[in-house]
């Protein structure tokens, strides 16, 4: 799964403006507090003569101003240290560089991760930068933009381009959907992510990424491990079509420089080409049942292929799936 380098557009942080407004409001509040405190104390002064009342009022006002000055200093000191009296947002512990499975949540049932992915995506952390790859539920969303839709439509906006992902459901069925590499500014916090669909209209959405779980090292090794260069026999599971034609098992696979190629033979001579990952492959034999050499993208995953049969009155493409079971690999001596 290829990752793209994505440029992020710097957007003014509204928190800075709010901080300034908050400070002004705090100053006004303090001055009002001075006036109210003085008025209350003056109203409570029971001095019988005006002179004493005036002097007491002046002393009270000065005392109140001094007290509020202390309060102001404390408030400004607290604000400078990040303690503004508001509930501070919890700091997110920085993740170590690596790969994680993380939950990807959106504000819409029409915009979500494929059901095959259980609401999660692959979060990659490198040099402190976080990117999550999410496989969506279809190919109806054609671009994403890390920000607001109005900015996405401006000249020079860097749109996120889709990848073609194959997802596998619990029943073994596969589907091709669009996936995206989305930059993640922070965990456990909503951020703007705009989208445009096949109808050409932009929409604003809020998304968040949470609950990162390190990918188990043994599982990662199992997924990434390729057998050493050589020739092997491997059992396959074949599905699709009417059931009359099939690819014979076991299959001979060749591993060379990390690339795996399978020699697959049909029980029929009527297949004139196959399509794998968008590439067309012709038979490698001219007599007998159709034999093809095709790439194997991975083991233990249902891979979609197409076989074109000429057994009917007109050629007909039929979709199949092949699963190469790694636990049956046997070296050919």
**Residue 6: per-residue pLDDT:** 34
| Three-class secondary structure of residue 62 per DSSP | helix
**Residue 24: per-residue pLDDT:** 46
Does the pLDDT value for residue 94 go beyond 90?
no
Does the pLDDT value for residue 170 go beyond 50?
yes
Secondary structure tally for the chain: helices H, strands E:
4, 20
- Contact by Cβ (8 Å): 97, 126: yes
Does the pLDDT value for residue 213 go beyond 80?
yes
pLDDT tens track for 8-53: 333 343 334 444 444 445 444 445 444 444 444 444 444 344 334 4
* Cα within 13 Å of Cα(24), Cβ side: 5
Mean pLDDT of the chain: 77
Instruction: Give me the sign of the Cα torsion angle 60, 66, 68, 70.
Output: negative
Which pTM does this prediction carry? Answer: 0.43
């Amino acid at each position: 799964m290829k990752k793209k380098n994505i440029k992020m557009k710097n957007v003014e942080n509204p928190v800075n403006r709010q901080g300034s407004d908050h400070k002004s409001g705090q100053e006004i509040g303090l001055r009002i507090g001075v006036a109210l405190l003085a008025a209350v104390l003056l109203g409570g002064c029971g001095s019988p003569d005006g002179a004493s009342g005036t002097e007491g009022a002046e002393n009270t006002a000065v005392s109140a101003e001094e007290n509020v000055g202390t309060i102001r200093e404390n408030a400004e000191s607290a604000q400078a240290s990040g303690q503004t009296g508001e509930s501070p947002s919890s700091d997110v512990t920085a993740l170590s560089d690596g790969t994680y499975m993380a939950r990807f949540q959106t504000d819409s049932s029409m915009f979500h991760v494929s059901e095959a992915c259980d609401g999660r995506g692959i979060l990659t952390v490198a040099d402190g930068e976080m990117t999550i790859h999410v496989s969506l539920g279809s190919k109806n969303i054609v671009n994403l933009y890390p920000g607001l839709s109005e900015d996405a439509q401006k000249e020079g906006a860097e749109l996120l381009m889709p990848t073609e992902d194959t997802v596998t459901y619990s029943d073994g069925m596969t589907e091709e959907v669009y996936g995206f590499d989305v930059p993640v500014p922070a965990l456990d916090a909503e951020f703007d992510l705009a989208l445009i669909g096949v109808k050409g209209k932009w929409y604003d959405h809020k998304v968040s990424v949470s609950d990162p779980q390190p990918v188990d090292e043994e599982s990662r090794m199992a997924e990434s491990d390729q057998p050493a260069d050589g020739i092997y026999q491997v059992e396959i599971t074949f599905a699709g079509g009417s059931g009359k034609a099939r690819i014979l098992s076991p299959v001979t696979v060749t591993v060379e420089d990390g690339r795996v190629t399978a020699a697959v033979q049909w029980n029929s001579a009527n297949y004139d080409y196959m399509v794998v990952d968008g590439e067309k492959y012709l038979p490698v034999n001219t007599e007998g049942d159709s034999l093809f050499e095709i790439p194997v993208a991975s083991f233990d995953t249902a891979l979609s292929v197409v076989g074109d049969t000429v057994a009917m009155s007109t050629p007909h493409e039929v979709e199949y799936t092949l699963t190469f079971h790694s636990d049956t690999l046997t070296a050919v001596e």
